[in-house]
Structure 1
Amino acid sequence: MQEQEKLIFHPISLDDRDWMNEKLREEKLEACEYTFANNFMWAEVYDVRVANAYGCGVIRCMGQRHVQYSFPFGNGDQRAVIVHLKKICVVYGRPLILYPITESSRLKLMEWFPGEFEIYSDRADADYVYTTEKLSSLKGKKLHGKRNHIARFMDGDDWRYEPMTQENIPECRRMAKEWETLRAEKWNEEMEQEIGVLEVAFSNFTKLGLTGGVLYKENKIVAFTIGEALNEDTFVVHFEKAFPDLQGAYPMINQQFVLHEAQDFQYVNREEDTGDLGLRKAKLSYYPDLLLKKYWAQESRVVFANERKPQEIINLWQQCFHDDTAYIQMYLDNRFETENMLVIYEDGCLVSMASLLPVQVTINGTKENARYVYAVATLPAYRKKGYASDLLRHALEKYGEPLILQPADRELQEYYEKHGFVDAFGESPCWIYAGKCTGPPVIPSGSENNLRAAEAEEETSQIEELGGWSVTDADAKAYKALRDEAFEKEGYVEWDEQAVAYAIKENQFCEGRTLLLARTVHDIGVQRAVLMYRIEGDSLHVIETTLHDNELHEVLPELLLHTNTAWAFERNMGGMIMLPEHFAAWDYKEGYLSLTLG
C-alpha cells in the first residue's frame, strides 16, 4: 500500500505551468477543461487551486454552490488521490464532487469505488468536436449556407487574416470593447466574467502558449479567435468574437483560423454551449462529429446502476419479481439507461433498485417532463431499512419532476400513500364476457394469470378482419398518434415513440398482439383505432384500446373465437403521482395512465 502523501492545494500560478503540462501530456485528455492555460485564465472566477501528489495533478475549483475537484491527471496513482480527497471532504463535512470526468475515467471510478459515487451528465456540458477537414473545407449541402455567408464577407476583396501577435493584441482589446458595447442590451454576469478572462489571455498570451487569429475588413479588426493544443490530435478553441451585424464574420474567422492554425490536428474542440440555446444552435449548425459527454461524480448512498454489471440487476430482479432471464434482458436491452435506474449497494452488493423512465404528463394544460417509477425492488434480507424510500426521495430531488407509478395491489398503494403519492389517474375496471359488459367476475387465480401460460392458436396471426374492421399489426408511430389523439386531456401521461415500441414488444413477448384497425365510415372517411391485448389462460386481457365500448363489443366475439379464449376483460388500474414543490397546487384525480410498460 502506497504511503499517504501530502495533498496541499495552492492558487494556480505561472510557476505551475511546466509540471501541469507534463502531467497533462501523460494522458490523452479530451475535455476542454484539461489545459493549464484554461485553468489559469479562469482562476479568479472559480478560485482555481492545484496540487501535485501521488504522481498526479489535481485541480480544485469553487462552483456556484460547492467545491469540486478534477479527476486526477497523469500516470501516477489516481485512485490514491481520490481516496485522499474523500478523507479531506469527510473533515469538512461535504461529499466529494469530481468534474469533469470523461468516459474512461467514469469506468475507473465505478470499478474502484462501486456504489459510492452518483455519476451523471448534463447535455449543457458536452463539448462540440469537429474534424479539422470539415471546418476547413465546409463541404456538402448541409454547410452550403456557411459558404454563402463567407462569399458575402469576401465581396470586395478588402479582407485579410493575420496570426494574433503582441503587436495586434491592443487593437483586439479595442475590438472586444466595441463588441461589448454592441451587446449591452443582452449583457449579463457571465459575459462580464468572460471579458475579464479574455483580458487574462491577452496579458499572458505568450506565457500561456496560446494561438490566435485576427480577421480584418477594410483594415479594421472585425473578429478574432484564441485557442491552443488540447492533446496530440485535438486543438481547442477558447474564445471567438466577431461583430454580429457583419455578414459572414463568424463563419469566416472560424474557417480561416482552422485553415491557418489547426492543420496539424485531426480534430477541433469548440467547447460546450453551457445551456445557452442560441449558442447551441450556432454550434449544431456546423454538425459536430462528436458531442463529448462529460460527467459529474458525487459521493452518494444512492447511485446510478452500473451498465457493465447487468447480472447483479438480473439477480435482484429475479429474487423480487421471479421473472425469467429473457424477460429481464429484454427490458435491459430496450429501456435501461445508466441514468434512469437508481440503486443502493450494501455489503458490496446491489440490494435495492428503482427505474425512473422518462414520460410526459399534462399539468395545467402544459406537457411537463415526469418519471414513471418502475421495478422498485429490495432484496428480502435488506427490507424495512428505508432503502426504497431513499430511492424515491432521491429521485424527486434529482430530477425535480413528478413521479408517477401504478401500484400492483392495495397494500402497495397504502405504502406509497405514506410516502407522499396521491391518486391522480382514474381507476375504471370494466369486465367483459363474450362481448357483454357485466359486473366484476371472480378474478383469475395466479396460475391462470401467468402471462406466458398459454399461447394463442396458429390462426391468431391470420386475423384480417374483425367486426367490419380491417386488421393489421400496429407500429409504434401509428399507435402513439392514435393514443395521443384519443386520450389527450388534463392529466394525460404521454409516452414517446421509443417507449411505445417497447410496450408493443413486451406485449408480444407476453403472448399478446397489438392491432391497428381501420374501416370506412359514411360521411367521415377512414376511421382508425388500436387494440392491445394479451392472452392469460382462457381469458383475453385488453391492455389498452382507443375503441369506444360499443365498437369494442363489436369486435370481441370474433377476437375471442380467433384467440380460442372464453372471456375478455379490460381493467384500468389508475395510478398515483408524487409532485415536486413547484407543482404542489395541482390537484387532479381523473388523469389517464393505463399503458405502463410492464
Structure 2
Amino acid sequence: MHDILRTDLITGLKLLWKECFSEDDDAYIDFFFQNRFDEKNLYYEMENGEIYAAVHLLPCYVTIDGREQKALYGYAGGLRKKFRGLDRFKGVVENMLQKNPNVFLFCPKESLVDYYKQMGFVPCFCQDMIETDEALQDENKKNDLKISPLESAAYENMRNDFFQGEGYVRWDLNAIDYALKEKRFCGGFTHLLHYKEHQYALIGEVKDQQLILEETTIPEEQLYDLLPSLCNIYGASRGTAYVRGKKTSDPMCKKHLIGMSNHLITHQNAYMGLTLI
C-alpha cells in the first residue's frame, strides 16, 4: 500500500475523477465518496507523490458454468491526461490483474471497447432494448397499475429470483442500497409496480419526454404490453426498457453492449444489471 494520508488520497482521487469524467459534478463525486468509497476496494498507482491512475474495484458475484464465483467490477477507472498516449493504463490494468486474480468486469465507453479487447477483455454482457414511440391511455389498465417506493432488501430478493442464471452478476445488499440511493440522487426513480396480484421493480428515469427503464423485473412478454401505459403514468411520450440480452428476431428489440470480462468468453448474453454502482 502506498504511504499516503486518507485525506490526501481522497483529494487525489477526486482530482483524477474530475479530469477523466468531466460530466460528473462535484455533488455526484462527493456522494460517491461519502456513500460507496472503501479504501479496501481501490487499486491506484502513484508517481512522484501524485496519483496518476486508479480503479475502484467493487466486489460482486457472477455465475459461470453453473457456479457462482467472486468477481470485481472495475468502476471509474482513469488515467491523468499528462500520462496518456504512453499506454500507461494498459500497464496499470496488467498490474491490477496480477495482484487480484479474480474475474474482472468492466463497462468501458464505446470508444474504448477495442482498447479493452487488446488487453484480453471480451464483450459478453449485453441487453436488448424494447422501444415504444407512443403512450396509451388505457383506463382499465391504468386502474390496475399502482406505484410505491422500492425497498433495497425486497429488491435484492426480487432481482436474484428474476435474473438468476448463467452469466448473472449478483450484488449484495449494501451495493443494491447504494445503487437505488444513487439513482434517486441523480433524479431517477426506484419504484415497485403493483399490477393485479403481482409486484415488479422499476428502476430508471424520464429524460426529454422519454421513459427509460434501466432495470425491471417485469417479464418481457408483459413488458411489451405494459410499456405504453407506463409511459403514460410517468408523463413520457415514448419509452425504452432494457432486458436480458438474447437471440431474438423481434423488430422492437435492439442489442445493447454493456460490459466486458476477462473470463466470460463463452457467454455472449450474460446479464450484468445495476452497472451504475
- Give the TM-score range, shorter chain: 0.7 to 0.9
1:342 to 22, 37, 43: 43
1:576 aligns with 2:260: yes
Contact 2:135 2:236 in 1 (8 A): no
Q: How do 1:463-542 residues align onto structure 2 when only pairs under 5 Å count?
A: 468-520=144-196, 526-542=197-213
- Cα 1:513/1:430, change in 2 over 3 Å: same
2:87 to 386, 389, 392: 386
How large is the RMSD of aligned CA atoms in angstroms? 2.4
CA distance in 2, matches of 1:402, 1:307: 30
State the shift of 1:548 in Å.
2.1
TM-score, normalization by structure 1: 0.41
Report the equivalent of 1:403.
Answer: 104
Contact 2:62 2:167 in 1 (8 A): yes
Q: How do 1:278-427 residues align onto structure 2 when only pairs under 5 Å count?
A: 306=6, 308-322=8-22, 323-409=24-110, 411-427=111-127
- Counterpart residue type for residue 192 of structure 2: L
State the SS of the aligned residue for 2:43.
Answer: strand
State the shift of 1:547 in Å.
0.7
- Cα 1:310/1:551, change in 2 over 3 Å: same
State the shift of 1:342 in Å.
1.3
Contact 1:362 1:489 in 2 (8 A): yes
Larger fraction in strand? 2
CA distance in 2, matches of 1:589, 1:423: 7
- Counterpart residue type for residue 539 of structure 1: Q
CA distance in 2, matches of 1:368, 1:351: 31
1:544 aligns with 2:215: yes
Higher relative contact order (CA 8 A, sep 6+): 2
Cα deviation digits, residues 442-495 of structure 1 (max 9, x gap) = xxxxxxxxxxxxxxxxxxxxxxx9562332111111111111111111111111
CA distance in 2, matches of 1:361, 1:517: 27
Q: How do 1:65-104 residues align onto structure 2 when only pairs under 5 Å count?
A: none
Q: How do 1:112-511 residues align onto structure 2 when only pairs under 5 Å count?
A: 306=6, 308-322=8-22, 323-409=24-110, 411-434=111-134, 468-511=144-187
Contact 1:429 1:573 in 2 (8 A): no
- Counterpart residue type for residue 43 of structure 2: L
- Cα 1:557/1:589, change in 2 over 3 Å: closer
State the SS of the aligned residue for 1:574.
Answer: strand
CA distance in 1, matches of 2:222, 2:267: 29
Q: Larger Cα Rg: Structure 1 or Structure 2?
A: 1
Structure 1 gaps of 5+ residues are 1-105, 112-305, 437-464, 521-525
1:595 aligns with 2:239: no
Contact 1:376 1:388 in 2 (8 A): no
CA distance in 2, matches of 1:359, 1:565: 34
1:556 to 217, 222, 227: 227
Structure 2 gaps of 5+ residues are 243-255
TM-score, normalization by structure 2: 0.84
Report the equivalent of 2:247.
Answer: none
Sequence identity (%): 28
- Counterpart residue type for residue 489 of structure 1: G
State the shift of 1:575 in Å.
1.6
Cα deviation digits, residues 72-109 of structure 1 (max 9, x gap) = xxxxxxxxxxxxxxxxxxxxxxxxxxxxxxxxxx89x4
- Cα 1:496/1:414, change in 2 over 3 Å: same
Contact 1:343 1:352 in 2 (8 A): yes
- Cα 1:559/1:519, change in 2 over 3 Å: closer
